[in-house]
Amino acid sequence: MSSASERVNLLGLSPQQLRKWFAEIGEKPFRATQVLKWVHQRQVDDFDQMTDLAKSLREKLKQIAIVKAPEVVLDKTSKDGTRKFVIDIGAGGLVEMVYIPEPDRATLCISSQVGCPLTCTFCSTGRQGFNRNLTTAEIIGQLWLAERLIEHKFPPNRSVTNIVFMGMGEPLLNYDAVVAVTVCPGAG
Ligand code: SF4
């Protein structure tokens, strides 16, 4: 089996990219739709649980692909229900994500960079300096984690109704990855 870093992280692929990827590995593109439902509607990251895929395909996917979200290292809920997460995106990089529930909606505030190169004087992130841009998989992985960890209160079976890029980083400085996120099914 390839190492985790060599396998394709399917969280970072749009539906179109995933269909193309399935075609490239010799599989029917409709398999992408099945996998997308497991990953983004049910937050499943284990190919063995994707029971409408043939066992041979599941074994093949385990060799070359992965569904890997960043890791939550802090999950703290305040009195008003706001839930703050600190997420480890690897190599010591930490980013913040905040879930803000209201009766009729729930907003997820996500990060686009580790640190930030702008130095807004009122902002603690600005004082940390800049480490790197997040990848599309790391950005969509934040939403994936929220949907996996927080009760689904909103139709159609969602925890989050609104997403804002107001965590760490200036999203326009990571334009390509942020735009790619908007066409990922989890953010749709
Ligand atoms: S994260 Fe936002 S507020 Fe903070 S330094 Fe960067 S651009 Fe300014």
Domain ranges, ordered by start, for the chain:
8-66, 71-187
pLDDT score at 22: 96
pLDDT score at 24: 95
With 0-12 CB in 10 A as exposed, 13-18 as middle and 19+ as buried, what is 149? Answer: middle
pLDDT score at 188: 55
pLDDT score at 156: 87
List Cβ neighbours of 182 (8 Å cut-off, separation of 6 or more): none
Residues forming beta bridges with residue 72, ordered by sequence position: 87
- Give backbone dihedrals phi and psi of 83, rounded to 5 degrees, phi first: -120, 120
pLDDT score at 32: 94
Q: Where are the beta strands (DSSP E) in 39-158?
A: 65-66, 71-77, 83-90, 93-101, 106-109, 113-115, 130-133
Give the Cα separation of 12 and 17 in Å (integer). 9
pLDDT score at 74: 97
pLDDT score at 159: 95
pLDDT score at 91: 82
List Cβ neighbours of 86 (8 Å cut-off, separation of 6 or more): 72, 73, 74, 94, 95, 96
pLDDT score at 186: 65
pTM of the model: 0.92
CATH of 71-187, one of 3.40.50.620, 3.30.390.10, 3.40.50.10470, 3.20.20.70: 3.20.20.70
Nearest atom of ligand 1 to the alpha carbon of 113? 1
Give the Cα separation of 25 and 5 in Å (integer). 18
Give residue ranges with CB within 6 A of ligand 1.
Answer: 116, 118, 120, 123, 125-126, 168-170
Pocket test for ligand 1, best of 96, 98, 109, 120 (most atoms within 8 A of CB): 120
Closest protein CA for atom 1 of ligand 1: 169
Pocket test for ligand 1, best of 94, 111, 116 (most atoms within 8 A of CB): 116
Q: How far is the CA of 117 from the centre of ligand 1 (A)?
A: 8
Q: Which residues of the chain have pLDDT under 70?
A: 1-2, 4, 185-188
CATH number of 8-66: 1.10.150.530
